[in-house]
Amino acid sequence: MQYAIDVRNLTKTFGDIVAIDGASFTVKEREIFGLIGPNGAGKTTALRILSTLLKPSSGTATIFGNDVVKKPEAIRESISYLPEEAGAYQNLSGYEYLSFMAGFYAEDKESQDEMLKEAELISGLGERLDDRIKGYSKGMKRRLLLARAVMMKPKLLILDEPTSGLDVVHAFHVRQVIKEYADKKGVTVLLSSHNMLEVEYLCHRVSLINEGKIIAEGSPDELTQKFSAENLEQVFMEVAKLG
């Protein structure tokens, strides 16, 4: 069976810094997969490689069978990436931004309108979509960006810390959207987080990453059992100590 994501022995260096150090993992289709680890572990770097923004220093990564180095264009057709500190064009209105983005994925006017309707719903911004993005709060912006990322129902959704900096209400909403898209609309999700509890709630499977190395992998339940811990947070502290 073909994996949605297949990463083998991936290494990425920036000068002397080794951001990713021989990491391997696979993600099945329709799965929600979490890449979890502390600050500077290499999560963002891994997601950027998979989104074709960075090139691996060695090792391979394929998405739906397409190599990130050899076929970046094919990959860009099937993914949607939400960067961790993403922004939106300040001088466009929320609606203009969404319709600008939808234009790249929609085949015709009809499907574009469909995407926009979807995005309006997800963003929950209502009338405010007509305002310039300049005036949005952080939470409003993040929801707009999430709506942008999911509205075209990509085959693979890559989310870098989707709920970071959001309050409980906004974070809850974002998690629901992610879950709904994976469960009901057949979207594969790869996300990063250092919020272990969020990951436990959302992800079917996770990889623990520390200092660029994958130090454990499995479903949240498997991992807590294996390390006889109460939750993923304890698992992580346990594994990080060993490693």
Partner 1 sequence: MGNLWSLVLKEIKELVRDPKILIGVILMPIIIFPVMGSAINISTSSVQRAMITASFAIYNEDEGAPTDALLEHLYRNNTVITIEANGIQDALSKYQETNASTLLWIMEGYSENVSQGLKGELKVYANLKSLSIAEAGSTDAIGGLLNYYAYFLSIANINSLLEQAGAIGEASVVRSPLSVDYQSIIKGNVIDVAPSQIVSVIMSQSVMLPIMVMVMLMFAIQMAATSIAIEKEQKTLETLMTLPVSRLTILSGKLAGSIVVAVAGAIAYMIGFGYYMTSAFSFAPELTTMSTQDLSIGLEPLGTLLLGVNIFVTLVSGLALAISLATFTDNVRSAQSLTGFLTIPIMLPAIILMFSDLSMLPKTVQMVLLVIPYTHSIIASKAAFLGNYVLVLRSIGYITLFTLVVLYIAAKIFSTERIITARFTTFDMKKLLGRRSNRER
Ligand X SMILES: Nc1ncnc2c1ncn2[C@@H]1O[C@H](COP(=O)(O)OP(=O)(O)OP(=O)(O)O)[C@@H](O)[C@H]1O
Residues that bind partner 1 (CB under 8 A): 14, 48, 51-55, 73, 76-77, 79-83, 85-92, 96, 100-101, 103-105, 132, 145, 148
Residue 207 CB, shortest distance to Mg ion, in Å, is: 15
The two tokens of residue 79 are 């993914």
Instruction: Residue 228: name its binding partner from ligand X, Mg ion, partner 1, none (Cβ under 5 to 8 Å by kind).
Output: none
Nearer to ligand X, 68 or 129 (CB): 68
Nearer to partner 1, 5 or 216 (CB): 5
Residue 40 CB, shortest distance to Mg ion, in Å, is: 8
Alpha helices (H) in the chain, listed in sequence order: 43-50, 72-78, 94-102, 109-123, 138-150, 168-185, 196-202, 220-226, 232-242
Q: Cα(177)–Cα(161) distance, rounded to whole angstroms?
A: 14
Residue 23 CB, shortest distance to Mg ion, in Å, is: 15
Contact in structure between 217 and 25 (CB atoms under 8 Å): yes
Q: Cα(122)–Cα(125) distance, rounded to whole angstroms?
A: 8
Q: Cα(134)–Cα(79) distance, rounded to whole angstroms?
A: 27
Nearest to 178 by CA among 112, 76, 193, 1: 193
Contact characters 83-102, Mg ion, x per CB under 5 A: -x------------------
Indicate whether 44 belongs to the interface with Mg ion (CB under 5 A).
yes
Binding residues for ligand X (CB under 6 A): 14, 17, 19, 37, 39-45, 84, 194
Stretch that binds Mg ion, among 37-45, 148-156, 180-188, 199-207 (CB under 5 A): 37-45
The footprint of Mg ion on this chain (CB under 5 A) covers a number of residues equal to 3
Contact in structure between 210 and 41 (CB atoms under 8 Å): yes
Which positions lie near Mg ion, rule CB under 5 A?
43-44, 84
